[in-house]
Structure 1
Amino acid sequence: MSIIIKFFIAPDDFSAARVVDSGPAGVFGSLACGNFDASEAVIEWESLLTGQSFEALVAADEPRTVADPGDGDGPLLFVVSAALQGALAGASPARLAEVGGLWIQERAAEGEVFDPEMVGELLSDLADLARTAHGQGHGLYCWMA
């Protein structure tokens, strides 16, 4: 199964939800990637960047869903937590590389293999998007289909 993932910037949940059916391409600044569970990944990244436990983040209902058809047939849209958005925006390239390496190890323990170069580019580009969102006073969202 192929998963299409697009992280994007939007001013608010209402604006973000308007693109749930078609995706954010051409509407907001976005970053496309694919073939991993982004909702789980953002929890793992936040845990690695902030030191909060994975379990505590799940208990806090992170990431917060903005739109979900609930039947598994349509796209899922969620907002990246303010803590993760801030941590990404403030992370140095060295810190992002460290987190990428740790995330690759975590995923390998679950039988998933990720290319280190791809992960490095993904986290770097995501951090750039988080900085842009922060500078505009907007949120960082994720659309998965």
Structure 2
Amino acid sequence: MSIVIKFFVAPDREAAAGVAEGGPDGVFESLTFGNFDVEEALIEWESIFTGQSFEEVLEDDVPETVVDPDDGERPLVLAVSRTLQVALSAAGEDRLTEVGRLWVAERAADGDVFEPEIAAWILNGLANLARTLNDEDESLYCWVA
């Protein structure tokens, strides 16, 4: 099964929820990726950036579901935690590469194969998107179909 993942910036949860049916294209600028478990990745990335365990991040209800119209079926919209947004926007290229390398190692332990360059490309794209947030109300979201 193919998974489409689109990260985008929206002014608030209501606006983000409004793209659940058709996705953010034509409404918000987005970054498109595919074929990885984005919910797990969001938890792992935050865990790596903060030094918290996977379980500690999960206990904080990360990632938060904004809308899940089909109760577990796609498409759905997730909110990227403020903690991860700040970490991404503050990270330099070396830190993003390091986080990508650690994420690739975690995925390899579970049998998933990612090239470190792809992980760095994903994280650099997200960091650049996170840096576009220009007020406290705007947030980074993820649409998954």
TM-score by length of 1: 0.95
* 1:53 partnered with 2:49: no
Gapped regions of structure 1 (runs ≥ 5): none
Bigger mean CA deviation after superposition, 135-144 or 13-22: 135-144
- For residues 9-20 of structure 1, the aligned pairs below 5 Å read 9-20=9-20
How far is 1:106 from its partner?
0.2
Return closer, same or farther for 1:60/1:70 CA change in 2, 3 Å cut-off.
farther
CA deviations over 1:58-79 (Å, ceiling 9, x no partner): 1111111000124443311110
Residue 38 of structure 2 corresponds to residue 43 of structure 1: no
Is the CA contact (8 Å cut-off) linking 1:21 and 1:74 kept in structure 2? no
Deviation at 1:27, TM superposition (A): 1.0
Deviation at 1:33, TM superposition (A): 0.1
Quick check: 1:8 aligned with 2:19?
Answer: no
Where has structure 1 moved over 6 Å in runs of 4 or more? none
| Percent of aligned positions that are identical | 57
Q: Deviations over 1:35-91 (max 9, x none)?
A: 001011011000101112210111111111000124443311110000000000000
Q: Give yes or no for the alignment of 1:109 onto 2:109.
A: yes
TM-score w.r.t. length of structure 2: 0.95
* C-alpha deviation, 1:131, in angstroms: 0.6
Letter in 2 for 1:2: S
Query: Aligned partners of 1:50, 1:73: CA distance in 2, in Å?
Result: 30
Shift of residue 136, structure 1, vs aligned partner: 4.2
Query: Gapped runs of 5+ residues in structure 2?
Result: none
Alpha-carbon distance in structure 2 between the residues aligned to 1:74 and 1:41: 17
Give the Å deviation of 1:119: 1.2
RMSD, aligned α-carbons: 1.1
In 2, the alpha carbon distance for the partners of 1:53 and 1:98 equals: 17
